[in-house]
Amino acid sequence: MNIEGKLYTLVYGDVSSISANPIEKKPFFHFWPGSWALTIGTWSCNFTCPWCQNYDISKVNPQPPKANYVDPEKFVRIIGNAGCSGCSISFNEPTILFEYSLSVFPLAYKKGLYNTFVSNGYMTIEALRMLRDAGMDAIKFDVKGDAEAVQRHCGADVNVVWRNVGEAKRLGMHVEVVTLVIPGVNDDDDCIREIARRHLKEAGSESPLHFTQFYPTHEMMDRPRTPVETLEKAHRIATEEGVQYVYAGNVPGHKLENTYCPACGELLIGRFGFTVTKYAVIENRRCPKCGLEIPIIGKYVRSTKLTRPLERWDL
Ligand SMILES: [Zn+2]
């Protein structure tokens, strides 16, 4: 809020939701597989997506007098107590919690915990650099469609998002890109191909690209869930274009949740929903069959090691 010419954040440390989640839920598939991330969000958003799955917090204006304040030290303490390997700023757009993230990330980093953003990627390059300097390890970018769809539905310029995908890679952060595939918005072949091509250009062939299933919600109740065949088509197109790790999401039990070796086809990481069911690249992060190096950041953490597998936290 602009108060007499000075900008103030209304949400610093105001937590709307907090829970321990598998990192696969973000989704990050090539980053600390099997680990859990303590996840928080606040209120409001900088986009206007009518299909928002978290509209109960993203479409709500902050109310500082009613803030549920969690100071950064306490938040980082809860990460450890919950048996999580790091944190994730998520649920609504994490850039809204930019200043708070700059406080939390160095504290978590010092404790050997990872820091992540689950973001629509709409920030300045300067902000991205400040987050990296504060200790951000990974960022998931939501690419919501082509330029026309993103302008129409989200009120934003997708070129800024792609620019930041490239910049995050250059800054050395782990990057995964996700498109929620919505019938009639971004499910045509040309749009999928365009996303795959820009992914290759900005993130590179080894960065994971996810196509996830839409379900009717918020202001977009007028269309069905995305057919599984559409996600399979998106996988085929992106693979044809040269993306090596393409996944389908929100379809538990589908084989495109798994990681296969792009060279020999060996099943490397098996998943069911957000659970890792098989992990075959422990040795030097190489395919056990053909020896290809598989780009995985961080350690594999067996979920059973979570000391307190709580989904929700009462503060
Ligand atoms: Zn192989």
Tokens linked to 194 = 């365009």
Q: What is the pLDDT of residue 230?
A: 98
pLDDT digits 0-9 by tens, 222-274: 999 999 999 999 999 999 999 999 999 999 999 999 999 999 999 999 999 99
**Distance, CA 8 to ligand 1 centroid (Å)?**
52
pLDDT digits 0-9 by tens, 187-196: 999 999 999 9
pLDDT digits 0-9 by tens, 48-104: 999 999 999 999 999 999 999 999 999 999 998 888 999 999 999 999 999 999 999
Q: What is the pLDDT of residue 306?
A: 52
- Contact between 248 and 212 (Cβ < 8 Å): yes
**Distance, CA 279 to ligand 1 centroid (Å)?**
14
Enumerate the H helices of the chain as residue ranges: 55-58, 72-81, 98-110, 125-134, 147-149, 158-170, 189-202, 228-241
Q: What is the pLDDT of residue 65?
A: 95
**Distance, CA 259 to ligand 1 centroid (Å)?**
11
**Distance, CA 19 to ligand 1 centroid (Å)?**
36
pLDDT at 309 over 80: no
HSE (side-chain half, CA atoms, 13 Å) at 241: 26
**Distance, CA 261 to ligand 1 centroid (Å)?**
5
pLDDT at 141 over 90: yes
pLDDT digits 0-9 by tens, 115-132: 999 999 999 999 999 999
**Distance, CA 206 to ligand 1 centroid (Å)?**
14
How many angstroms separate the CA atoms of 306 and 315, rounded? 20
**Distance, CA 183 to ligand 1 centroid (Å)?**
34
**Distance, CA 209 to ligand 1 centroid (Å)?**
19
b/e per residue, 284-302, with b = 16+ CB within 10 A? eebbeeeebebebebeebe
Q: What is the pLDDT of residue 284?
A: 86
Considering the chain, what is the average pLDDT of its residues?
Answer: 95
How many angstroms separate the CA atoms of 197 and 195, rounded? 5
**Distance, CA 286 to ligand 1 centroid (Å)?**
8
DSSP structure class, residue 94 = G
DSSP structure class, residue 31 = B
pLDDT (mean) for 158-167: 98
pLDDT at 42 over 50: yes
**Distance, CA 228 to ligand 1 centroid (Å)?**
27
Tokens linked to 255 = 């084989």
How many angstroms separate the CA atoms of 87 and 83, rounded? 11
DSSP structure class, residue 227 = P
Which residues keep their CB under 5 angstroms from ion ligand 1? 261, 263-264, 266, 287, 289-290, 292
pLDDT band at residue 313 using 50, 70 and 90 as cut-offs: very low
**Distance, CA 200 to ligand 1 centroid (Å)?**
21
What DSSP line would sit under 143-161, residue for residue?
Answer: --SSHHHIIIIISS-HHHH
Distances (CA, A) of 32 to 27, 46, 93, 191, 302: 11, 29, 22, 31, 10
Q: What is the pLDDT of residue 304?
A: 58
Q: Tell me how crowded residue 118 is: count the other CB atoms within 10 A of its CB.
A: 26
